Structure 1
Amino acid sequence: MPTVYNWQIGREMEYPYAENRPDRQWGAVFDLNKCIACQTCTLSCKTTWTHGEGQEHMFWNNVESKPYGAHPLGWDQEILDRLGVQEWGSDGVYDGDTIWEANDVDWEETSPTEEHVANEGHVASYMPDDADWAHPNLGEDEPAGEAFAGDTHIEGEEHPMWFFYLPRVCNHCTYAGCAGSCPVQAIYKRQEDGIVLIDEESCQAQLQCVQACPYKKSVFNQAKGNSQKCVGCYPKVEQGLVPQCFENCLGKIRQHGWVNPPEEADPTNPIDYLVHEAEVALPLYPQLGLEPNVYYIPPINVPDDYLFQMFGPGVEEAKETYRRARDGRADQRKLRGLLHLMGSTEWRIEEFEVTEDQAIGYDADGRTVAKVPMEEPRAERPKFEQGVDAYRLDVT
């Protein structure tokens, strides 16, 4: 089997196809410190893409409460258990097996379906059942954890419990599990933007993409008899717009754009800046080996051990950098400005700058598509208004 370089795990790994990166790669960053689980993203996607027959159980965009929520039920725990021991070296290199290397399966000789018969514990044989898809909000808002020193708005207090919201879409992985497992090559990665799509006419309903995608974002439509998945809102992307779930995000936690490998990173590109320059955005379960292209700014109130398993090395540093930007530290002013730009426009921001008083976003043609102030205007009114003989409860 060919070997490819996966920069997220810091080494070469096995993959069924030779390395062939697209001309540019669809990418995204989600700020988990701002997600409020309003599910507006989920509804906007559902009403746009998955409201048809056979799609009742499909949520191409979903929001999970961690640590207990998951859709399909228990998907991440199941995958991590099957993957086995996941060890990272002190140099940031992943020393464990990826899904392509686990269980000593030769992907060129053995399909996941055949391996499923021989070894039901194989990482690429996990098939959620109907009940697993039926409870998209199970575990929502359930907290966990013992008392630990938390970064709360109440100085000096302990934060005894924690949970956070994890919005998920297809990662449009560089080394996609769905594409790598499809026996009829009905799944492909677009060269122009790296979006992973299913050719539904070529799909023969062998379900290997559903099994092999560890994030469980390829879903079978029983009514149509083929698999379906998030399409990255490519009709909007082609017009320079952000995907539907990004545009409708009330918490303004999402930034869409292009992501480059580290050696090609452009510090004026918002996604590259967050991922490579500020190093505040991390991939979800990089140890799986798919090089996912959706990145997350870790929640600062969650224990590091849990986040390390989820996002790999760099969690502590990312949280500290985010805190400094949030607190207005001068060394993270550029990051603070970019965080203000998130969700500020329906247009894709491909370049940004931070001036003395505002952050500015530009499209591919250099046209200004967003301007936000670095500091919100503030006015303070008298607590007692003599003209109406009344007290104000909110003076700002």
Structure 2
Amino acid sequence: MDIRSQIAMVFHLDKCIGCHTCSVACKNIWTDRKGAEYMWWNNVETKPGTGYPTRWEDQEVYKGGWEKHGDGIRPRGNKSKVISIKNITYNPNMPSMDDYYEPWTYKYSELFEAPEGDDQPTARPISLVTGQPIDVKSGPNWDDDLGGSQDYARKDVNLDALSPQEREEMFELERLTFMYLPRICNHCLNPTCVASCPSGALYKRGEDGIVLLNQERCRGWRMCITACPYKKTYYNWSTGKSEKCLLCYPRLEAGIPPACFHTCVGRIRYLGVMLYDADKIQETASCDERELVQRHLDIYLDPFDPEVIRQARACGIADSTLDAAQKSPVWKFVKQWGIALPLHPEFRTLPNLFYVPPLLPTMGRVKDDIYDTTTQSFWGGIEGSRLPMKYLASLFSAGDTARVEMVLKKEMAVKIHRRMVTVGDLPEAEAATAMAEAGVSADVADEIFRLTTLALNEERFVIPAAHREEAIELIEATGDPHPAAGGDRLDGRRLARSGRGSGQVLTDGGSGRPRQTGGIVHQDLRDPGDLLPRGRLCALWRGLPTGNLFGSDQG
């Protein structure tokens, strides 16, 4: 058993108000640079809709994710590193600028400095790519709130799971509804982007599973852009390098949640540590599609199990990380309560971002020009959902409608229980029956209610200690000649001052390579220089300069 720790996330879609505050926060911090204007590491989509980039879910077009190949899997379109090198200049499945949008600004001087006259002055849109005037035709959320539904909402890939009659019913005025879907990089357990990069620039951090991209190694082949089925890797046309969401790891290492999490107005976001068995990744990703969701959830281990704790310590996971895993809100939503599901598990990347499906759009209908939320029976609102179960199942459970229905029943049971407790207008027998059918006790319902509505930041974001001192210890043991942060060479005094970790460096099997057992690194890395700390927050990403994020225009 090879136990590793992973930073995982939950988004509660019943609470998302579609304000895009998360997107703006991320944009202002990370992607307001030349060549990155079109990048939205965090974006919020309206569903039904085509998303960003357009129809990103259609892998018949983009060939992203993994596909079954015999008893195993391979990158869709056979985009392995070897094949990619053979066809390194030929990538017909890559999104074009039209699939995203051409970023623009406005020539404000024509508005503010216009001479007095009879005509109303205007600010013409100017392309940020060419610098020439353009006619704006699309944007990152062009279909927000079902805007342009004929061109966008009706072309949602997930509607393919519905019959023609069900599709038409979804767009009847009386049934018309939509939901918001915030998306960031999933930092998958089995990332296709890492497997497809010919340069080996993409890697998964050992201590927390965050997927990062080494700018020094990146050669701009862009195979990662095609390989990622969620299209969360982007190409900077100015620097010639790829870029992606890095989960604000400098903030995490300082104990601060990522910017999009911290600024979320609806407080829909949760972050915590999950323990998983890396030995099961291949087996899990290769299983039958009908078993994918359950096998994916089974790969995460119980942090309270004494045997798991013993094995985790043997694999070098620190006690502080184990403690954070036991307090993780993600563990509760995903495993303990079973109400959070992965987005498009059929891509087989084993994403670490889970979603609580929205219940609210299922409840109300327009009846005699009145918005009616009453039902004849307890489950009537779910069975007659305005968002068909097949549609939600296509998003979150690889087509398993029974799993989505059970999640919604649990959410409904919590609402009924809390109404009985706070308002008292429901018979206790009815509430008890509802919770029994959903498999939810009164205590569990109260726990779900509290974490969903009343949780403090410390409960929503449980971030383990970074253990920088153990990375320093590993670098000393490998004899890395590079200086540490600020140009000072590492010495024993600095290591003694930190004094938090209990890690030790051992040789890994017969290879003679050092293997960290104290929690910071527990997977073999070809170049120990990848662990070189730079800057005050121990970036653990060699090539990250102290000034501009990606250095000069030459990358």
Asked if these proteins are the same fold (TM beyond 0.5), I'd say yes
Partner in structure 2 of residue 219 of structure 1:
234
Provide closer, same or farther for how the CA distance between residues 190 and 82 of structure 1 changes in structure 2, counting only shifts above 3 A. Answer: closer
Partner in structure 1 of residue 94 of structure 2:
127
Please list the CA deviations of residues 249-294 of structure 1 after superposition, one character each: whole Å capped at 9, or x if unmatched: 0011110111234451346421011011111110111110101111
Asked if 1:326 is matched to 2:293, the reply is: no
Q: Is the 8 A contact 1:36 1:165 kept in 2?
A: yes
Q: Is the 8 A contact 1:146 1:161 kept in 2?
A: no
Q: 2:301, 2:89 → 1: CA distance? A: 39
Of 203, 224, 243, which aligns to 2:258? 243
Amino acid at match of 1:272: W
Structure 1 unaligned regions, length at least 5: 1-18, 88-93, 149-157, 352-396
Q: How does 1:1-396 map to 2 (within 5 A)?
A: 23-76=4-57, 78-79=58-59, 100=74, 102=76, 105=78, 107=80, 109-111=82-84, 114=87, 126-134=93-101, 135-142=139-146, 147=169, 160-261=175-276, 262=298, 264-266=301-303, 268-300=327-359, 301=362, 302-312=387-397, 313=400, 314-327=403-416, 328=418, 330=442, 331-341=444-454, 344=457, 348-349=461-462
Q: 1:251, 1:112 → 2: CA distance? A: 45
Please list the CA deviations of residues 3-58 of structure 1 after superposition, one character each: whole Å capped at 9, or x if unmatched: xxxxxxxxxxxxxxxx977x311111001111111010000000011111111101
Q: Is the 8 A contact 1:66 1:163 kept in 2?
A: yes
SS of the residue corresponding to residue 100 of structure 1 reads: strand
Task: Please give the TM-score of this superposition, normalised by the length of structure 2.
Answer: 0.51
Task: Please give the TM-score of this superposition, normalised by the length of structure 1.
Answer: 0.70
Q: Is the 8 A contact 1:25 1:195 kept in 2?
A: yes
SS of the residue corresponding to residue 74 of structure 2 reads: coil
Q: 2:413, 2:181 → 1: CA distance? A: 23
Q: CA deviation at 1:114?
A: 2.5
Q: 2:197, 2:69 → 1: CA distance? A: 27
Provide closer, same or farther for how the CA distance between residues 307 and 337 of structure 1 changes in structure 2, counting only shifts above 3 A. Answer: same
Identity %: 36
Larger relative strand fraction: 1
Amino acid at match of 1:336: F
Q: 1:133, 1:49 → 2: CA distance? A: 18
Please list the CA deviations of residues 87-139 of structure 1 after superposition, one character each: whole Å capped at 9, or x if unmatched: 9xxxxxx9999973645x3736412872995xx8xxxx631110111121122
Q: Is the 8 A contact 2:329 2:461 kept in 1?
A: no
Q: CA deviation at 1:69?
A: 4.0
Amino acid at match of 2:141: N
Larger radius of gyration: 2
SS of the residue corresponding to residue 259 of structure 1 reads: strand
Output the aligned Cα RMSD: 3.2
Q: CA deviation at 1:140?
A: 1.3
Provide closer, same or farther for how the CA distance between residues 163 and 192 of structure 1 changes in structure 2, counting only shifts above 3 A. Answer: same
Provide closer, same or farther for how the CA distance between residues 250 and 80 of structure 1 changes in structure 2, counting only shifts above 3 A. Answer: farther
Q: 1:27, 1:226 → 2: CA distance? A: 27
Q: 2:230, 2:2 → 1: CA distance? A: 22
Amino acid at match of 1:264: L
Q: Is the 8 A contact 2:197 2:223 kept in 1?
A: yes
SS of the residue corresponding to residue 239 of structure 2 reads: coil
Q: Is the 8 A contact 2:271 2:460 kept in 1?
A: no
Provide closer, same or farther for how the CA distance between residues 268 and 348 of structure 1 changes in structure 2, counting only shifts above 3 A. Answer: closer
SS of the residue corresponding to residue 185 of structure 2 reads: coil
Please list the CA deviations of residues 181-228 of structure 1 after superposition, one character each: whole Å capped at 9, or x if unmatched: 101101111101111110011100101111111111100001111000
Q: CA deviation at 1:164?
A: 0.7
Between stretches 212-221 and 327-336, larger displacement belongs to 327-336
Runs of 4+ in 1 over 6 A off after TM superposition: 81-84, 94-99
Q: Is the 8 A contact 1:33 1:298 kept in 2?
A: yes
Q: 2:142, 2:59 → 1: CA distance? A: 18
SS of the residue corresponding to residue 219 of structure 1 reads: strand
Larger relative helix fraction: 2
Q: 1:185, 1:97 → 2: CA distance? A: 26
Structure 2 unaligned regions, length at least 5: 102-138, 154-166, 277-297, 304-325, 363-386, 419-434, 436-441, 465-555
